């Protein structure tokens, strides 16, 4: 693949108090690429994802997305933190799907999807509604547009959450274990929607324990352990002939 680089992280470090959650992490994701991040619990996968869209502030290093330095403005040889409004603007084009869905419970499925386009992008209610209905149809939930999240199953809520992320017309969507909170029989319907999204050319970074998805859908796989990004390469290679023995051990453990 030779398309342009959409996300690039260089030497990213993140501490929580004295605990170092990310050690000089580097990552490159190209436009249209689906990249899975795998690794044991506590290895820093969520933290890395959250640093990319500024839900966490990094301690050192730099992250670019969509050609822009994220969270900071360069002036001379210093990087100055951006304002709340500027950070909000950068987040518009980076969608995120959470493990626990985090739909707005006081809004219907449709209202969840049009909230961002109308309030943030300033789209007209009519245009946003039409686009939202299209997206809900695409995730198979056109008939649930008027339902509140509490009236939907976990799988349906997660599909609404994906539609909500797409409503912002992002250039990149981050997924943090999108199927881990779901009953086993509901996992497939969410993965189907993600397959469809990947096929449509959306750039995706997916933290997941679904090895099937990593193998069949993603282009590249990154393995993290102990706050370090151990290796990152084409999924077929990383999943079958990893360079690093720790990756091999992890794969052996999850595929048992």
Partner 1 sequence: MTDTPLPHSSRDAHDIAHLQLVPRKHVGRKVFAAIVLFLVALLIRAFVVGQIEWPVVGQFLFAPVIIQGIWNTLLMTVAAMSLGIALGVLIAIMRISGNPVLEYIALVYVWIFRGAPALLQLLLWFNLALIFPTMGIPGLFEFNTVEVMTPFIAAMLGLGIQQGAYTSEVVRSGLLSVDAGQYEAARTIGMTGMQTLRRIVLPQAMRVMVPPVGNEVISMVKLTSLASVIQYSEILHNAQVIYYANTRVLELLMVASFWYLAIVTVLSLIQSRIERYYARGTRGRTTI
Which of 46, 53, 157, 179 binds Mg ion (CB under 5 A)? It is 46
Question: Which option in partner 1, ligand ATP, Mg ion, none does residue 42 bind, with CB closer than 5 to 8 A by kind?
Answer: ligand ATP
Tokens matching residue 63: 């992250």
Q: Who contacts 52 (Cβ-Cβ below 8 Å, separation ≥6)?
A: 7, 9, 63, 65, 70, 94, 174, 205
Residue 95 vs 242, nearer CB to partner 1: 95
Q: Does 149 bind partner 1 (CB under 8 A)?
A: yes
Residue 56 vs 196, nearer CB to ligand ATP: 56
Strand-pair partners of 8: 28, 64
Q: From residue 118, how far is each of 129, 149, 208 by CA, in Å?
A: 9, 20, 31
Q: Report phi then psi at 104, rounded to 5.
A: -80, 110
Q: Who contacts 199 (Cβ-Cβ below 8 Å, separation ≥6)?
A: none
Question: Which option in ligand ATP, Mg ion, partner 1, none does residue 55 bind, with CB closer than 5 to 8 A by kind?
Answer: partner 1
Residue 165 vs 194, nearer CB to partner 1: 165
**Interface of this chain with ligand ATP, residues 47 to 66, rule: CB under 6 A:** 47
In 63-150, where does DSSP find H-type helix?
A: 84-91, 109-119, 125-138
Tokens matching residue 47: 């933290």
Encoded one letter per residue, x for contact with partner 1 by CB under 8 A and - for no contact, window 39-58 reads --------------xxx---
Q: Who contacts 84 (Cβ-Cβ below 8 Å, separation ≥6)?
A: none
Question: Which option in Mg ion, ligand ATP, partner 1, none does residue 47 bind, with CB closer than 5 to 8 A by kind?
Answer: ligand ATP
For partner 1, the binding residues (CB under 8 A) are: 53-55, 84-85, 88-89, 91-92, 94-96, 98, 100, 102-108, 115-116, 119-121, 148-151, 164-165, 167-168
For ligand ATP, the binding residues (CB under 6 A) are: 16, 19, 21, 39, 41-47
């Amino acid at each position: 693949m030779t398309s342009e680089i959409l996300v690039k992280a260089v030497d990213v470090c993140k501490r929580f108090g004295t605990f170092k959650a990310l050690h000089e992490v580097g990552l490159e994701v190209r436009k249209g690429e689906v990249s899975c991040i795998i690794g044991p619990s506590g290895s820093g996968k969520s933290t890395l994802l959250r640093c990319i869209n500024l839900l966490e502030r990094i301690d050192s290093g730099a992250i670019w997305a969509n050609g822009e330095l994220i969270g900071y403005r360069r002036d001379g040889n210093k990087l100055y933190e951006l304002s709340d409004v500027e950070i909000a603007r950068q987040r518009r084009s980076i969608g995120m799907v959470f493990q626990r869905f985090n739909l707005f419970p006081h809004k219907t499925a449709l209202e969840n999807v049009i909230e961002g386009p109308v309030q943030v992008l300033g789209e007209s209610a009519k245009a946003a509604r039409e686009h939202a209905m299209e997206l809900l149809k695409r995730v198979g939930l056109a008939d649930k547009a008027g339902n509140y999240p509490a009236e939907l199953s976990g799988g349906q809520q997660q599909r609404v959450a994906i539609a909500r992320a797409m409503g912002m017309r992002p250039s990149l969507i981050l997924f943090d274990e999108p199927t881990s909170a779901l009953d086993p029989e509901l996992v497939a319907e969410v993965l189907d929607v993600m397959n469809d999204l990947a096929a449509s050319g959306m750039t995706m970074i997916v933290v997941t324990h679904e090895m099937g998805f990593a193998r069949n859908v993603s282009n590249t796989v990154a393995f993290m352990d102990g706050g370090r990004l151990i290796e990152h390469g084409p999924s077929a290679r990383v999943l079958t002939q990893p360079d690093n023995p720790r990756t091999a051990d992890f794969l052996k453990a999850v595929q048992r």
